[in-house]
Chains A and B, each alone.
Chain A
Amino acid sequence: MADFDWPWQYKFPPFFSIQPNIETRKKQLEAWCTLVLTYQKHMKQYNLDVNEAQNSELFYNKQLNRRLNLDAMYTVLEELRKRGNLEWKDKNRSACTLMWRSPAEW
């Protein structure tokens, strides 16, 4: 499979800490949402298990030695859910289905 084209943010360490500044955080989450969706599309995956995803290259940049911690991951995933691109499979929020396009667009 062709290499995934990582966005510049992925190589920017602050990308992996949730930013306290509201404006900055908005931009950051936007970038994260786009990244998650394009990555899943590239890998042709629909399901995401939160525990597994923690160690996947998507949320863990080995070269940079930075990873998005669990709380921050949920922040990103909840943002995706609000946009209509994600549905939880259970109440514990351990796994979810990702939709590249929201149901409305389909």
Chain B
Amino acid sequence: LLPRQRPGIVGIERSIQQKNKETNKNISQAFQDLRNLMEKAKDMVGLSKTIATKIKDKQGEITEDETVKFKSYLLSMGIPNPVTRETHGTGDKYYTELARQLASVLAKPVEDCGGMMTMTDVYCRVNRARGMELLSPEDLLHACELMEMLALPLRLRTFDSGVSVLQARSQDEEEIVSKTSSTIQDKGPLTAEQLAQILGLSVILARERLLLTEKMGGVCRDETVEGLKFYPNLFLTAGS
């Protein structure tokens, strides 16, 4: 391709110039293609918007097949458009299927973790197991939000602190509270880290357990520079 190799600096310079020209051509071609692609996508977005407004005119009936289909179009283009979508069919076929699948895959691991798993852990496990066709965090969240409605054995739960977990339906809150407070009765004051070690849970979950128990009045806190420790709630149990 290159012209006959000439000796000396001129030859080297010339060959470099030639290479530059080549890459420039490649790059500009790539951008050209990209622009065409975006042009096409723009049409799709415009079209889906007009369809959304059309559906709005017909407001209200429950989960028509048409809107479900339409949503899967939006999904395949990666345009999350919840505001105009939400009233037209609750959730989505893709999400419902995903929710079912997740529930069946995760039921066992969640049970093994003591009935609760943080969403970040869930995300990690699922995507690790999949390898290909990964889930986006948003997809996972949407699917989990539907679990409650589909009466699956798992459900999504958000704590006051904003931490989201996937919880087994069989898990009983009051049992957690009573178990946590009795652990603290037995072992004396504990931090979240210590409780996590005793119960074999992650620190985040242990912390949530303690906060939940505190909310119910089972334990009380001692906040110092050394950390946050939880004591049996003598204020409520011991008579003054």
Cβ distance B192 to chain A, nearest Cβ, rounded Å: 15
* Bound Cα distance from A23 to B237, whole angstroms: 12
Binary contact readout B180-224 vs A (1 if CB under 8 angstroms, 0 otherwise) = 000000000100000000000000000000000011010011111
* Bound Cα distance from A98 to B74, whole angstroms: 69
B233 at the interface (CB under 8 A from A): yes
The answer, among B222, B233, B236, for a CB contact under 8 Å with A16, is B222
Q: How large is the interface on B (under 10, 10 to 19, 20 to 34, 35 or more residues)?
A: 10 to 19
Total interface residues on A, using CB and 8 Å?
Answer: 18
B170 at the interface (CB under 8 A from A): no
Judge whether A19 and B220 touch: CB under 8 Å.
yes
Query: Among the listed stretches A24-32, A38-46, A51-59, which one makes contact with chain B, having 4 or more residues with CB under 8 Å of it?
Result: A24-32
Judge whether B240 and A31 touch: CB under 8 Å.
yes
Judge whether A21 and B214 touch: CB under 8 Å.
yes
Judge whether B235 and A27 touch: CB under 8 Å.
yes
- B220's nearest neighbour on chain A, judged by CB, is A14
Judge whether A17 and B223 touch: CB under 8 Å.
yes
The residue among B189, B222, B235, B240 with the most chain A CB atoms within 10 A of its own CB is B235
B238 at the interface (CB under 8 A from A): yes
Judge whether A21 and B217 touch: CB under 8 Å.
yes
Q: Cβ of B234: which chain A residues have Cβ within 8 Å of it?
A: 8-9, 12, 14
With A21-B217, A23-B217 as known contacts, state yes or no: A12 contacts B236, CB within 8 Å.
no
B229 at the interface (CB under 8 A from A): yes
Q: Cβ of A28: which chain B residues have Cβ within 8 Å of it?
A: 235
With A13-B222, A17-B222 as known contacts, state yes or no: A24 contacts B231, CB within 8 Å.
no
- B230's nearest neighbour on chain A, judged by CB, is A14
Cβ distance A39 to chain B, nearest Cβ, rounded Å: 16
A66 at the interface (CB under 8 A from B): yes
A20 at the interface (CB under 8 A from B): yes
The answer, among B224, B235, B240, for a CB contact under 8 Å with A24, is B235
The answer, among A16, A19, A20, for a CB contact under 8 Å with B235, is A19
Judge whether A17 and B221 touch: CB under 8 Å.
yes
Q: Cβ of B238: which chain A residues have Cβ within 8 Å of it?
A: 8
Cβ distance B132 to chain A, nearest Cβ, rounded Å: 46
Q: Cβ of B189: which chain A residues have Cβ within 8 Å of it?
A: 13
The answer, among B215, B217, B231, B240, for a CB contact under 8 Å with A14, is B231
* Bound Cα distance from A52 to B215, whole angstroms: 34
Cβ distance B15 to chain A, nearest Cβ, rounded Å: 73
Cβ distance B22 to chain A, nearest Cβ, rounded Å: 67
Cβ distance A21 to chain B, nearest Cβ, rounded Å: 6
Judge whether A27 and B221 touch: CB under 8 Å.
no
Given A14-B234, A20-B214, 15 new contacts (CB under 8 A): A8-B234, A9-B235, A13-B229, A14-B231, A19-B220, A19-B221, A19-B235, A21-B215, A23-B217, A24-B220, A24-B233, A24-B236, A27-B240, A30-B240, A31-B240
Some 25 contacts from A to B, beta carbons below 8 A apart, are A7-B240, A8-B234, A12-B234, A13-B189, A13-B222, A13-B231, A14-B221, A14-B222, A14-B231, A17-B221, A17-B222, A17-B223, A17-B224, A19-B220, A19-B221, A19-B235, A20-B214, A20-B221, A21-B214, A21-B220, A24-B233, A24-B236, A27-B235, A27-B240, A66-B224
8 closest Cβ contacts across the A-B interface? A17-B223, A27-B235, A13-B222, A14-B220, A14-B222, A14-B231, A24-B235, A19-B220
